[in-house]
């Protein structure tokens, strides 16, 4: 049993009998009930379902000759898979993943939302540059649509409502409009009417099929000739004679170019490769699902986001997904949700809605990894020869994956940036790892 105090509430987080539960009690009632022994078990599942995939290469490390390639990409999450798909038609590519399944880490744990107003100017430009691909993927990429419409509704209490127009100006998106408190209530009648001061509706929003997009990229990479090696960890690498030599449980490989698409581990990998870290900070974000309310039809609700970004919730496969929108700094790891995060998610949801959470169906956490300016990092390292970065996707690595993969492929192959991305305002300088060294005041 885990007892958590938040403000004037006590939460018991765990399981009653075989039923996972979060019980919210007032302090008074909680103290009276304190003597009651309740057997609770932590509702914790490490992560969302993993994506099955069959490896294309199963090399034996014992005595194997190194396999020669043009590019070795470390990490087969969304970043590595999408980049492999973009470059495999031009170069011999190996996608090397330490886990036995690609997508086990951050990619398999996202909230699967797309908003063109989300993130800084670089992220928004890359997201706009991804829209066409996500709405009209290439022939054979997937059997189902990659995105379906779901508006975003930023809700403000009375104190925050005046600031909504500022948010509108900061991230201008044509499909955004201010809405009154009454309109907010009409869209999501479960919100507490006395709490709602106003809202901002973002009609650029979509739900994304993350596993389908990831699988589509892996398939596209394979079709273009890329090889995928899973279960390769631990991986070591060193540069000798102008070539990267990679030694792994799955075999030995060599290539002049090594791509660092290792998500939360990217700075650790860079240090091992002799490159300078870019100041990547993995941050834990937690999510839970609860059963959809019986008193409302929530299927078509927008995603509801607190104006201070202290919570969000949205319909998700017949349930509701809640998050406390936390950003807790962590070392790179296979992160699990904290009981306190779950209790905070429940508390904030119950504060802004008239709904009660009786049971957590599923909970997980993932690491969103950011550098200081919250833009992604893509480009050759200025110091480590043949070492290419694709990291720092933060909380936007799915929605901007198609645009970022095309931009990274151009930088990797030393070709011009695609014109449509240039038109959106994407520049090599804004993505370059060198910008972070310059920002830190040190020479690149």
**Interface residues toward ligand FAD, by CB under 6 A:** 74-80, 96-99, 102, 104-107, 109-113, 235, 261-263, 265, 269, 285, 287, 366, 368, 393-399
Within 307-443, residue ranges assigned H as helices are: 339-352, 401-412, 419-424, 428-431, 434-439
Q: Select 119 or 197, whichever has its Cβ closest to ligand FAD.
A: 119
**CB closer to ligand FAD, 380 vs 396:** 396
Phi, psi (rounded to 5 degrees) for 40: -120, 145
Minimum CB separation of residue 308 from ligand FAD in Å reads 18
Q: How far is the CB of 318 from ligand FAD (least distance, A)?
A: 18
30 or 80, CB closer to ligand FAD? 80
Q: Minimal distance in Å, beta carbon 33 to ligand FAD?
A: 32
Give the burial class of 60: count Cβ atoms within 10 A of its Cβ; 0-12 exposed, 13-18 middle, 19 or more buried: exposed
Q: Which residues contact 252 (CB under 8 A, 6 or more apart)?
A: 59, 61, 64, 65, 66, 67, 245, 246
User: Least distance from C-beta 255 to ligand FAD, angstroms?
Assistant: 14
Residue 405 Cβ, how far from ligand FAD at the closest point, in Å?
Answer: 10
Rounded CA-CA distance 425/99 in Å is 36
Nearer Cβ to ligand FAD, position 115 or 181?
115
Q: How far is the CB of 299 from ligand FAD (least distance, A)?
A: 19
For residue 169, give both structure tokens: 């100006």
The residue (of 216 and 397) whose beta carbon lies closer to ligand FAD is 397
Residue 94: CB minimum distance to ligand FAD, A: 11
User: Of 113, 108, 111, 112, which is closest to residue 46 (Cα–Cα)?
Assistant: 108
**Contact residues for 178 (Cβ-Cβ < 8 A; gap 6+):** 164, 165, 168, 198, 199, 200, 201
Whole-number Å distance between alpha carbons of 80 and 72: 10
> Which C-beta is closer to ligand FAD: that of 176 or that of 323?
323
Q: How far is the CB of 83 from ligand FAD (least distance, A)?
A: 9
CB 96 within 8 A of CB 229: yes
Closer Cβ to ligand FAD, 135 or 182, answer by number: 135
* Of residues 97 and 209, the one with the C-beta less far from ligand FAD: 97
CA-CA-CA-CA torsion for 35, 38, 41, 43, nearest 10 degrees?
-90
Instruction: Retrieve residue 283's tokens.
Output: 């941050």
Distance of CA 101 to the CA centre of its chain: 17
Other CB atoms within a 10 A radius of the CB of residue 403 amount to: 26
């Amino acid at each position: 049993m885990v007892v958590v105090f938040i403000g004037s509430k006590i939460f018991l987080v765990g399981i009653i009998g075989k039923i996972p539960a979060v019980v919210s009690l007032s302090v008074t009632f909680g103290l009276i009930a304190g003597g009651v022994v309740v057997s609770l078990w932590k509702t914790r599942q490490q992560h969302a379902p993993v994506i099955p995939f069959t490896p294309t290469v199963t090399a034996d490390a014992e005595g194997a000759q190194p396999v020669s390639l043009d590019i070795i990409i470390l990490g087969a999450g969304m970043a590595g898979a999408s980049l492999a798909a973009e470059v495999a038609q031009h170069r011999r590519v190996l996608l090397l993943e330490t886990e036995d399944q690609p997508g086990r880490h951050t990619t398999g744990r996202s909230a699967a939302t797309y908003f063109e107003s989300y993130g800084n100017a670089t992220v928004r430009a890359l997201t706009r540059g991804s829209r066409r691909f996500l709405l009209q993927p290439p022939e054979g990429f997937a059997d189902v649509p990659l995105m379906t419409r779901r508006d975003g509704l930023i809700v403000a209490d009375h104190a925050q409502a005046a600031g909504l127009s500022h948010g509108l100006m900061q991230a201008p998106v044509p499909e955004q409009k201010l809405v009154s408190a009454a309109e907010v209530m009409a869209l999501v009648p479960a919100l507490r009417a006395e709490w709602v001061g106003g809202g901002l509706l973002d009609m650029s929003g979509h739900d994304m099929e993350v596993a389908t997009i990831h699988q589509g990229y892996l398939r596209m990479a394979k079709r273009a000739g890329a090889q995928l090696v899973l279960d390769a960890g631990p991986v070591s690498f060193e540069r000798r004679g102008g070539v990267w030599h990679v030694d792994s449980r799955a075999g030995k490989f060599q290539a002049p170019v090594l791509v660092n698409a290792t998500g939360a581990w990217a700075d650790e990998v860079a240090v091992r490769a002799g490159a300078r870290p870019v100041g990547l900070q993995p941050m834990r974000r937690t999510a839970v699902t609860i059963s959809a309310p019986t008193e409302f039809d929530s299927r078509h609700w927008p995603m509801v986001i607190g104006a201070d970004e202290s919570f969000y919730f949205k319909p998700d496969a017949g349930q509701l997904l809640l998050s406390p929108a936390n950003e807790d700094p962590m070392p790179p790891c296979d992160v699990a949700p904290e009981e306190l995060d779950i209790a905070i998610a429940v508390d904030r949801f119950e504060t802004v809605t008239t709904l009660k959470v009786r049971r957590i169906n599923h909970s997980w956490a993932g690491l969103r990894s950011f550098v200081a300016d919250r833009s992604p990092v893509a480009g050759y390292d200025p110091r480590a020869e043949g070492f290419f970065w694709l990291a720092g996707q933060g909380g936007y690595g799915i929605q901007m994956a198609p645009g970022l993969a095309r931009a990274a492929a151009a930088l990797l192959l030393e070709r011009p940036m695609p014109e449509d991305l240039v038109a959106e305002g994407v520049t090599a300088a804004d993505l370059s790892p060198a910008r972070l060294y310059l920002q830190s005041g040190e020479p690149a």
